[in-house]
Amino acid sequence: MSDAASNAPPPAVLTVVTWNINSIRARLDGFAKMVRMVQPDVVLLQETRCQNGSFPMSPIRRRGYRHAALNGSGGHHGVAILSRLPLHGITVDTVGGIDQPRHISAAVEFAGRAVRLHSLYIPAGGDEPDPAINPRFADKLAFLDGLGPWGATCAGEDSLLTGDFNVAPYEADVWSHRQLLNVVSHTPGETARLEAARQAGGWVDVVRRDRPEPEKVYTWWSYRNKTWPGNDRGRRLDHVWASPQIAHRVRCEILTEARGWPKASDHVPLVARIAAPA
């Protein structure tokens, strides 16, 4: 690092991207394009599909992300934090008794305070919304049941709880509330549990605060839609929740165009910007 870079003034805004990248190794070009466009300080990834020892750190370091916290095992799930700022207090938690690599958090110093950033990947739940016959859906409900008490313990810090929650909680978070009521990600059992978890910690859903219903907001479009945006049948599965004490300083945008990039993930990045205290 040059002397000029090391003596640079601290940023007035901390820029954080959260993204279900659907395989980091398959989408390094997309990662690089996002970095060029957004220049985030920290990137939180989900569904990295990569063991820690196989994570492609060399090209990521060349983009300036010299600090990393990884939680991956095998070809499924996996979460990561990649940062241009030093990471402190890295934690990996198990939520709802689901022992899979679905959470990692770390703190960064910003404006004289620590901000804790969580990358969370809630189970998708399979296709059948019946826990009696679908163990994957049972795991999802157990995770959501554990999310409230676990998340309430995290909300006392200046923090963002972000990631692919695999739940579209509100009517305007899906292309058709009526047609998707019995489809996994928008069933009443899932949406009620996610909302209860948000309220348990006093978390602020930043996207919906700034873009309230009935505005349609999506972050995911199925690969089955071959002509995206086509009929625009999306869902809002990815979220940025801010702890109540910093929520007023957080703004969020959705990088919708990323769904149309070559070899795109079916999810798009969310860009959260935290302003320094006045």
pLDDT for residue 272: 98
Torsion angle, alpha carbons of 221, 224, 229, 230, to 10:
-140
Pick the CATH number of 13-275 from 3.40.50.2300, 3.60.10.10, 3.65.10.10, 3.40.50.1000: 3.60.10.10
Ramachandran angles phi, psi of 36, nearest 5°: -60, -40
Tokens of 29: 């070009």
10 Å CB burial of residue 215 (0-12, 13-18, 19+) is exposed
| The model's pTM | 0.95
d(CA 220, CA 237): 6
pLDDT for residue 2: 39
d(CA 217, CA 256): 10
pLDDT for residue 3: 41
Cβ contacts of 96 within 8 Å, gap of 6 or more? 139, 142, 143, 144, 145, 146, 147, 150
pLDDT for residue 1: 38
pLDDT for residue 7: 56
d(CA 213, CA 170): 8
Q: What is the mean pLDDT of each run of 10 residues along the chain (278 residues)?
A: 49 95 97 98 98 96 97 91 98 97 98 97 98 98 98 96 98 98 98 98 98 98 86 96 98 97 97 95
pLDDT for residue 9: 61
pLDDT for residue 211: 98
- Domain boundaries defined on the chain: 13-275
